[in-house]
Amino acid sequence: HTDRPLPAPPLPFVGPQDDPATGVALRTVGFGATDRSDHSDQLLGANVRDMDGPQSRCKKYGRDYEPAVMLCAGSADGEQDAGEGDSGGPLTTVGSEPIQVGVVSWGSEEVDRPHDRRDYPGIYARVSAYSTWITEQTGIGSAPKPSPQPTNPPPSPSPSPAPNADSLSLRTVIG
């Protein structure tokens, strides 16, 4: 269990009704699977974008996807997304001061190839739907509304090994 204070301030998060615009650049990070049976020893990241909206790929999940409390994000080619073992990690805006907009939740375990994954982006808990509760429980207030960012996320930083097709694209339903 955790018993020590954080050495850094908590990550700012969105308030009610402060979701990023559809298509905005986002980033998720975690130590999740880099292949089907392992976890990364290094913190890895994936550049994704919010895929809700009129042409939403999220609709393929049917009634399992609830847009009021869930956010759907992935990369257009299906190559980057959160992976198995990343659940609970942050989904943030991209920029000098990231703001948390989601929490890694679940995805389809029925797809194995990037071509299939692009039609089934990862599902994240929508932080704005819970921001009032988070503030009530923690005493930490939400951040100002995120400013729009370009729809093309910047390239991943290069000091750590570049993620490959297996690095953050394997998703699974966490029961």
Integer Cα distance of 140 and 125 in angstroms = 18
Who has greater pLDDT, 30 or 4?
30
Single out the residue of 45, 40, 46, 42 nearest to residue 85, CA to CA. Answer: 40
pLDDT in the model for residue 164 = 36
pLDDT digits (tens, 9 = 90+) for 136-170: 998 888 887 666 555 555 554 444 343 333 333 33
Instruction: For residue 153, give both structure tokens.
Output: 């996320």
Alpha helices in the chain (DSSP H): 114-117, 131-138
49: pLDDT strictly greater than 60: yes
pLDDT in the model for residue 7 = 76
Integer Cα distance of 136 and 154 in angstroms = 34
SS3 38: strand
pLDDT in the model for residue 136 = 93
Cα 45 to its chain centre, rounded Å, is 10
Q: Which of 29-38, 68-77, 125-134, 155-164 is predicted with the least confidence, judged by mean pLDDT?
A: 155-164
pLDDT in the model for residue 39 = 80
Instruction: For residue 3, give both structure tokens.
Output: 């018993």
Q: Roughly how many angstroms between the first and final C-alpha of the chain, as a whole number?
A: 21
Q: Is 154 left (phi over 0), alpha (psi -120 to 50) or beta?
A: beta
* Sign, Cα dihedral of 38, 41, 47, 50: positive
**Quick one: what percent of the chain has pLDDT higher than 90?**
29
Mean pLDDT of the chain: 77
pLDDT in the model for residue 167 = 34
pLDDT digits (tens, 9 = 90+) for 65-105: 898 999 999 888 877 888 888 999 999 999 888 999 999 99
Residues 122 and 104: beta-carbon distance below 8 Å: yes
